[in-house]
Every structure is written in structure tokens, then in C-alpha cells.
Amino acid sequence: MNINISDEHCPLRRTLEIIGGKWTMLIIFQINERTIRYGELKRCIVGISEKMLISQLKFLCDKGFVHKKSFAEIPPKVEYTLTDIGKELLPVINQLIQFGLNHKF
């Protein structure tokens, strides 16, 4: 791959605009291959606020990385899964994790 000038259309920038947020990759990784409810997700990601989790989940749904299934029950029940496109990010995230495991900065 040869190195082009990085302008606003370069694929790296476009990707980072989507998944460059503080919580995005964390959320995608925690959903992973499973079906997970909102509440469990929140407990898995220590320190995230409800506002951030909700807004990021909505964002990821809009972008087609996450699928949301609401059940018309009381108390409410909502399940999240990764779409096929979302799952494509898992290998990248695993590499980042591996990098973190290999190095202490």
C-alpha cells in the first residue's frame, strides 16, 4: 500500500470519524459475538455514563454497526447485537488489545 496524502477523504480519517470516540470501540468489543442487554452492557463498561452509552448505541445503530431489538415488555427489555459490518471491526480491536497486552507505556 503506497502512502497518499491524507486529506478529508482518506479512508483512515473516515474510519476514525466513526470509531474514534472514547467509548465506541469499547462498546463494540463488549457486544462482540453475543446478544447483550442494555443493563448488562452498562455494567461491563466501567465508568461510562448512561447518556454516553445511549447516545453511542444510537449512533452505532444509525451507522449500521449495531442492531437493536426492543421487546414490548414491562419492565422494558432491549437487546443489542453487532451487525455483520460491526463484526468486521472485531479483528482490528483484538489487535489493539494485543498491542496493549504486549506493551506497558
Q: What are the residues binding a copy of itself (CB under 8 A)?
A: 1, 3, 5-8, 10-16, 18, 20, 22, 25-26, 29-30, 32, 34, 43-47, 63-64, 85, 88-89, 91-103, 105
Long-range Cβ pairs for the range 59-62 (8 Å, 24+): 59/24, 60/24, 60/27, 60/28, 60/86
Residue 49 interacting with DNA (CB under 7 A): yes
Q: In 3D, which of 67, 80, 70 has the Cα closest to residue 40? A: 80
Interacting residue with DNA among 7, 8, 22, 105 (CB under 7 A): 22
Which range binds DNA by CB under 7 A, 7-15, 76-84, 86-94, 96-104?
76-84
